[in-house]
Every structure is written in C-alpha cells, then in structure tokens.
Amino acid sequence: MDFHVSTPTGDRKIQIILPQSGNICILASGGIDSSVLLSTILMARQAESPNLPFTVLNIKRGLGTEEFSRAMVNKLEDHFGVEIPFQYVDLDPSVHHSECLTNPIVPLLDRGDYTHCFNAETSNPAGFVHVGAPNRTPVKNQFKFKKWRMPFLHCDKTHIVQLMHQLNLSFIETMSHTCFAQARYRCKTCFQCEERAWAYKTLNLTDPGEH
C-alpha cells in the first residue's frame, strides 16, 4: 500500500510492503512515528493480507514508553476494530537506547520467532542540527536490512506528522510520548522534543500534545 506525502522538505512516497507469508512484529514506543507506522500496517493488512500474523512489541526502556505504547495500542484497536497482539520485551540496561535496533529484537528474528520486523526509524531533518541527534543515515531502499522493514527511513518528522493528518489520526498527537529525558510532559531540549517542535513549526501547525 502506497502513501504520498508532500511537505516543505520535499515529496515522499511511502510504501508499506507486507510479506506474503510469515509472522511480523512491529516496534512501538508510544511516539508519533511508531503509532503512524502501526496504523499504516493495519490498513495495508486489512486491504491485502488480513490473515497475516503480527505482534506489536514495546522494548522496555522506561521513560513512559510502556504506558504510552499500551494506551496507543488500545486506542488503535478501537479505531480500526481489530485485536492487536501486544508484548513487552526486556532491554539489556547495559546497552544504550540508540542500539535498541539490535537488542533484543535480532535474537528473536534469528531464532525464527518473527520473519520480519517493522521499525519506524526516520532520517534526521536536513539542516536541523542538534548536539544530541541520533546517528541516522537516510536509506531509500527499505530492504537493505535483511528481515527489517523501515518504510519511513527516507522521511523526516514533517512527513510523518503530515501523513498522520492525512489519515485522520489526529488523536495520536495528544496520546503520544516524545521526550527521551522524562516520562511525562516534555523537557523541550532533547533532540526528540526539538525535532517534534521543528516539524510542527515547519508545517505551520499547532501541536496540541503535552508529552
């Protein structure tokens, strides 16, 4: 299923390509990006592969992700009228959160618990410099990583916020959690907080969310 999004930072074609068979997992943090990704996957699955097994996983790293991801999944269940299997996965506290991509999901893929994992990673906004910015590299080919699907990897935050509005999912704004420094509300200084503020300013939108 394809989605077309245009923002001041450029036009993007977002493709949600589900495997024809297997058992997929979808990473959910309770933030805007992962909530929009889960929504698009639910739409694609309903239209193309209604029997494809899937599970939503939240990596337990604290800072509100467990609470917000569970609440978001409950809301999306009601919105789409579908039961969403949901599980928490423990995180090795010795591993920094930026390395979550390989911990602890890769072992689940390696032993065959899931055939593919969908992740809502985006690229850093062009020209937006922040000392705490994660090391993201824009990759247009979402199939570069075996068993991983990253359909937002060529997008920045403006594209995800715009897609959210196009799909009439504005409830995500007030239910999502963004900050990487505290569990509730926003510090307004970490990269994630400033990236979200930048996206709304770029789109000339008011952000009604608090977290």
Question: Per residue in 38-79, pLDDT tens?
Answer: 999 999 999 999 999 999 988 766 666 788 888 999 999 999
For the chain, give me the number of helices (H) and strands (E)?
A: 6, 7
Q: How confident is the model at residue 191 (pLDDT cuts 50, 70, 90)?
A: confident
Pairwise CA distance, residues 99 & 93, whole Å: 11
DSSP 3-state of 10: strand
Q: How confident is the model at residue 112 (pLDDT cuts 50, 70, 90)?
A: confident
Pairwise CA distance, residues 203 & 198, whole Å: 9
Pairwise CA distance, residues 24 & 11, whole Å: 28
Listed in order, strand segments (DSSP E) in the chain are 2-7, 10-15, 24-27, 54-60, 86-90, 116-118, 148-149
Summary mean pLDDT of the chain = 83
Residue whose C-alpha is closest to residue 96's, from 38, 135, 141:
135
Does position 170 have pLDDT exceeding 90, yes or no? yes
Query: Widest CA span of the chain, in angstroms?
Result: 46
More confident residue, 111 or 130: 111
C-alpha pair distances (Å), 88 with each of 61, 167, 169, 186: 10, 27, 24, 24
Identify whether the C-beta of residue 118 lies closer than 8 Å to the C-beta of residue 27: yes
Residues 72-111 have pLDDT tens digits of 999 999 999 999 999 888 766 555 544 444 557 777 877 8
pLDDT at 126: 74
Residue whose C-alpha is closest to residue 80's, from 92, 72, 88, 68:
72
Q: Residue 58 carries which side chain, given as an amino acid letter?
A: N
For the chain, the helix, strand and coil percentages under 3-state DSSP, each to the nearest 5:
35, 15, 50
